[in-house]
Amino acid sequence: MLREFKQSILIALWFVFLTFPLMVVRVNTIENVVVWRWENILWVAIGAFALSYCWRYMLARRQRQNKKAEEGIDTRGPLQAALDNVELRNRAMAVLLTLALIFPLVFDTYQTNIMVTALIFVVLGLGLNIGVGLAGLLDLGYVAFFGVGAYTYAILNANFDMGFWIVLPIGGVLGCLFGVVLGFPILRLRGDYLAIVTLGFGMIFKVVMENWETLSQGPSGIANIDRPGLFGIEMTLAQSTVYIYYIMIALVVLTIIVTNRLKNSRVGRAWIALREDEIACVAMGIDMARTKLSAYALGAFWAGMVGVLFAAKTTFINPAGFTFMQSAIILSIVVLGGMGSILGVILGAFILVLLPEYLRAFSEYRMLVFGAAMTLMMIFRPQGLISNLRQIYQYKGSKDKAAHDG
Amino acid sequence: MTDKKHKLLEVKGLTMDFGGLRAVDSVSLAVHEGEIAALIGPNGAGKTTFFNCVTGIYTPTSGDILLHPKGLETRRLNGFKPNKVTEMGLARTFQNIRLFSGMTVLENVMIGRHCRTYSGIFRSILRNRSVREEEQETIETSYRLLEKVGLEKFVNEFARNLPYGAQRRLEIARALATDPFLLLLDEPAAGMNPYETSELDQLICRISEEEQIAILLIEHDMKLVMKISNPIYVMEYGKKIAQGSPFEIRDNPKVIEAYLGEEVDA
Ligand SMILES: Nc1ncnc2c1ncn2[C@@H]1O[C@H](COP(=O)(O)OP(=O)(O)OP(=O)(O)O)[C@@H](O)[C@H]1O
Ligand SMILES: [Mg+2]
């Protein structure tokens, strides 16, 4: 502690010295006098000291935790511990769901709309989490599948007047198909190569949509897409927003159930094993191609579905809405929340979508804050906000072992 | 023919080239039912490469790898994917331990059951009765295997937190979970202390006897090899230089030279 204190003081002094010419000395060229702003020394010193001290404290804390973890001591924070408690978790889920259900009744259309956006990113995060978090397949072009879904609805709606509910599954299936098609060439790739190729796929989607005018109406996009219908009932904008909100809640619940079940199943275990060690995985009898493709396709499925909903919500889409930025945000959601952790991804989506929304004042610094937050995250908490909940297995401690073996 | 044991694995003239390097040079060997065979040789002799060819990690340059499962037709394994080879009943462990370090000990073994279970995506989502039963079955089987190798006290530990010797045994349990009839062990005793090694040799013998699994093992620990295995195959610079019972091998001048030569180098 004392050492950290001393070092921080040294750093503060060093910064004072470094910034002296900038912060303290100022030449007033009009009156030809030098202004000495001594008070700035204090601010620089305090600022540098505080930052440095925090930094050191966090690093030291992390080291202590790592050490404890090595010795097998419980290092979970209170939140993590509470989440590991199944009963508590179920109760929290129930409360959250109730809150979610009454949300649009309490808040206005504007807030509900923002919430829908957040929920869309929850589903996207959960979908990407299958590939990135569970199977370890980095995908920087995930937004393409989202775009496939959105354009599927836009095109089918504009040309064939097909309704939202019919296209919703079609969008999912098409997303899935694209996932498989794009998955094939990258089966053998790993790490950086995979990242670059998927990045390319994301770009290709946008370029194709910009240039294939007959299909997608080019950069100007497709407008006047129908909102979701409900037995032909006419709805005002506000009503429609609430309706979409509830559809979205249902979709989120469905995604959570499905991904959770898959995660704790034979298939999910294979995905995780694939992430851990590919060679051991195939040597243990797991079909790599099939497992990878299924992870890809399933992730793309959710993106496709929610893409349809996105098009129905905004009623207007154009290629500029499906850029690398979106992919990066979705990936950040997964990384920030905690790879492989469903709750983490949900939390991550809310943070990354809602914070910028409510902190409009900082919107210009958004990417800057984003980058800084991610960097800090990687240094201090690489496992994400909420790390993966462990599945608990029940087994008979078999004393009647001989009977089984015989 | 009655006293002649069934031949499970037959490798004929196996050759593997890496660019200009011939790592395995027309090696032939066979493993019979009930055998614990050993493959020995100095460092870099090509033993691991031989294993990798047999298990489908590498596709051999030439030669035949024939598998004769009991009661089934003979299959030529060349060019098979590793997972197919494992499905056919040939499991292995790795010299440089390759566990799923972020998964628990039990989950590691459960992965081994993958190729013997069936629940796909849709059934996993529905999670109906048969899926749950299969899952429970997987858990029980895996737990029993952990008991067999003496790791049940680590069941919920992350694999990476296990002591070295335990990790090697976990690899064996994971391989056993695939229901093999032939088990290939790549230096199972490497890095173990004498006590762990003696436990290991008992474990290997038990697997061989109780489970009727034939074993082919690579090992540098001569005491272990001489004690439990017969026949022994010796490789040097990619070539098979000798084969026979422990006694024949011990007195074989070529083998002595190969090993002494290595000692002078060291
Ligand atoms: N993937 C590869 N590419 C190129 N050369 C390889 C490859 N794998 C192995 N080799 C070479 O093949 C030769 C045999 O290696 P191998 O690992 O099979 O030896 P080994 O008998 O298992 O030795 P050790 O007892 O040290 O494990 C070595 O010269 C090695 O460098
Ligand atoms: Mg080797």
Torsion of Cα atoms, A220 then A224 then A230 then A235, to 10°: 130
Q: Between B263 and A376, name the one with better pLDDT.
A: A376
Cβ atoms of residues B183 and B92 within 8 Å:
yes
| Structure confidence at residue A72 as a pLDDT band (50, 70, 90) | low
Give SS3 for A328: helix
| CATH number where A255 lies | 1.10.3470
Q: What is the pLDDT of residue A403?
A: 40
For residues B231 and B216, what is the distance between their CA atoms, to the nearest angstrom?
10
Question: Do A122 and A48 have their domain in common?
Answer: no
A122 and A24 within one domain: no
Which strands form B75-76's sheet, in the order they lie side by side?
A: B21-32, B7-18, B62-67, B75-76
B-chain residues within 8 Å CB-CB of A271? none
Residue A200: inside a domain: yes
CB count in 10 Å sphere of residue B172: 22
CA–chain centroid gap for A379, Å, is 18
Residue of A nearest to B121 (CA): A267
What is the per-residue pLDDT for A84?
Answer: 67
Q: Among A35-39, A120-124, A127-131, whose mean pLDDT is lowest?
A: A35-39
User: Do B185 and B164 share a domain, yes or no?
Assistant: no
Q: In this structure, are A114 and A64 located in the same domain?
A: no
Say which DSSP state A265 is in: S
**Confidence bin at A73 (pLDDT 50/70/90):** low
The answer to whether the CB atoms of B119 and A286 lie below 8 A apart is: no
- Is the same domain home to B259 and B195? yes
Q: Which of B15, B21, B265 to probe ligand 1 with, by most ligand atoms within 8 A of CB?
A: B21
Task: Give the closest residue (by CA) to ligand 1 atom 17.
Answer: B48
- Which of A265, A279, A396 has its CB closest to that of B57? A279
**What CA–CA distance (Å, rounded) separates B143 from B127?**
22
- Go through chain B and tell me how many residues it has: 266
- As a whole number of angstroms, the distance between CA B12 and CA B34 comes to 21
Does the distance separating the beta carbons of B175 and A284 come in below 8 Å? yes
What is the distance in A from the centroid of ligand 2 to the CA of B16?
Answer: 15
Structural domain includes residue A116 = yes
| Mean pLDDT calculated for residue range A163-174 | 92
Neighbours of B44 (CB within 10 A): 14
- What is the predicted ipTM? 0.91
Q: Which residue of A has its CA nearest to B115?
A: A285
- Whether B111 sits inside 8 A of A298 (CB atoms) is no
Indicate whether A314 belongs to any domain.
Answer: yes
Q: Indicate which residue's Cα is closest to atom 7 of ligand 1.
A: B18
Instruction: Provide the number of CB pairs (under 8 Å) joining chain A to chain B.
Output: 126
Mutate which: B77, B85, B114, B117, vs A, most A CBs within 10 A: B114
Same domain membership, residue B124 and residue B151: yes
pLDDT by position in tens, chain B (length 266): 445 688 999 999 999 999 989 999 999 999 999 999 999 999 999 999 999 999 999 999 999 999 998 888 899 989 899 999 999 999 999 999 999 998 999 999 999 999 998 888 888 888 888 889 888 999 999 999 999 999 988 988 889 989 988 999 999 999 999 999 999 999 999 888 899 999 999 999 999 998 889 999 999 988 899 999 989 999 999 999 999 999 999 888 888 888 776 544 44
The number of folded domains in chain A is 2
pLDDT at residue A186 in the model = 83
- C-alpha A401, offset from chain centre: 46
Of the residues B150, B171, B192, the one at which a domain ends = B171
Highest-confidence segment of A189-193, A225-229, A360-364, B44-48? B44-48
Question: CA neighbours within 13 Å on the CB side: how many for B10?
Answer: 12
3-state secondary structure of A392: coil
**Same-domain status, B20 and B85:** yes
CB–CB of B180/B88 below 8 Å? no
Choosing among A134, A255, A266, A274, which should be mutated to test the B contact, i.e. which has the most B CBs within 10 A?
Answer: A266
CA distance B198 to chain A (A): 23
Q: Which residues of B touch A265 (CB under 8 A)?
A: 119, 124, 127, 131, 135
Judge if A59 and A122 occupy the same domain.
Answer: no
Domain annotation covers residue A98 = no
Chain A residues touching residue B92 (CB < 8 angstroms): 283
pLDDT for B1 equals 43
Both B162 and B200 in a single domain?
A: no
Of A108-122, A220-234, A249-263, minimum mean pLDDT range: A220-234
Instruction: Looking at the structure, tell me whether residues A58 and A190 fall in a common domain.
Output: no
The reply to whether B51 falls in a domain is yes
Q: Is residue A231 part of a domain?
A: yes
DSSP per-residue codes, A89-136: HHHHHHHHHHHHHHHHHHS-HHHHHHHHHHHHHHHHHHHHIIIIIIS-
Same domain assignment for residues B28 and B158: no
Which residues' Cβ are closer than 6 Å to ligand 1? B 18, 21, 23, 41, 43-49, 95
- Give the alpha-carbon dihedral of B154, B155, B161, B166, to 10 degrees: 60
The packing angle between helices A2-19 and A39-70, to 10°, is 140
Atom 25, ligand 1: which residue's CA is nearest?
A: B43
User: Same domain for B110 and B65?
Assistant: no
**Which domain CATH number covers B48?**
3.40.50.300
Cα–Cα dist B49/B186, whole Å: 10
User: What's the half-sphere exposure (Cβ side, CA atoms, 13 Å) at A11?
Assistant: 17
Within this chain, do residues A114 and A184 fall inside the same structural domain, yes or no? yes
Q: What is the pLDDT, as a whole number, of residue A400? A: 46
Reported as half-sphere exposure (CB side, CA atoms, 13 A), residue A233 has a value of 8
Average confidence (pLDDT) over A11-36: 83
Query: What pLDDT digit, counting tens, does each position of A253-310 carry?
Result: 999 999 989 988 999 999 999 999 999 999 999 999 999 999 999 999 999 999 999 9
Residue where one domain finishes, among candidates B171, B199, B217: B171
Length of chain A: 406
Asked whether residue A18 falls in the same domain as residue A159, the answer is no
Query: Which residue has the least CA distance to atom 29 on ligand 1?
Result: B44
Q: Considering every ligand atom shown, identify the ligand nearest to the alpha carbon of residue B45 and give its number.
A: 1
What does the pLDDT read at residue A247?
92
Q: Is residue B94 part of a domain?
A: no
Containing structural domain, residue A270: 107-380
B189 and B57 belong to one structural domain: yes
Residue A55 has pLDDT above 50, yes or no: yes
Instruction: Mark yes or no for CB contact A284/B124 under 8 Å.
Output: no
- Which tens digit of pLDDT belongs to each residue from A172-212? 999 999 999 988 888 878 778 888 888 998 899 889 988 98
Pick the residue from chain B with its C-alpha nearest to A71. B161
Taking residues A347-354, report their average pLDDT.
88
SS3 B104: strand
For residue B49, how far is its CA from the centre of ligand 1 (angstroms)? 6
Q: Phi, psi (5° rounding) for residue A212?
A: -90, 75
CA of B50 from ligand 2 middle (Å) equals: 9
By the 8 A CB rule, do A294 and A165 touch? no
Q: How far is A372 from chain B, CA to nearest CA, in Å?
A: 28
Do residue B184 and residue B266 come from a single domain? yes
| Chain B nearest C-alpha distance from A162 (Å) | 27
Identify whether B142 is part of a domain: yes
Q: Which of helix, strand or coil describes residue A78?
A: helix
Q: Is residue B121 part of a domain?
A: yes
> Whose Cα sits closest to atom 22 in ligand 1?
B48
Domain finish residue from B145, B171, B197: B171
Q: What share of chain A is helix, strand, coil (3-state, %, to 5)?
A: 75, 0, 20
User: Is residue A213 a part of any domain in this protein?
Assistant: yes
Which pLDDT score is estimated for B264?
A: 44
Residue ranges making up the domain that contains B120: 102-171
* B41 and B111 inside one domain: no
Same domain, residue pair B1 and B85: yes
pLDDT of residue A404: 40
Query: What spacing in Å lies between the alpha carbon of B44 and ligand 1's midpoint?
Result: 5
pLDDT at position A83: 67
Q: Is residue A132 part of a domain?
A: yes
Q: Are residues B106 and B84 in the same domain?
A: no
**CB-CB under 8 Å, A273 with B124:** no
Among A79, A292, A64, smallest CA distance to A198 is for A292
Put simply, the answer to whether B124 touches A390 (Cβ < 8 Å) is: no
| Angstrom distance (rounded) from CA B37 to CA B228 | 9
- State which of A25-34, A161-170, A298-307 shows the largest mean pLDDT: A298-307
The number of domains in chain B is: 2
Q: Tell me, what's the pLDDT at A285?
A: 92
The neighbourhood of ligand 2, an ion, using CB within 5 A, equals B 48, 95
Q: Is residue B95 part of a domain?
A: no
Q: Quick check: B117 and A266 CB within 8 A? A: yes
Amino acid (one-letter) located at B146: L
Q: Is residue A144 part of a domain?
A: yes
**A286 and B100: CB-CB below 8 Å?**
no
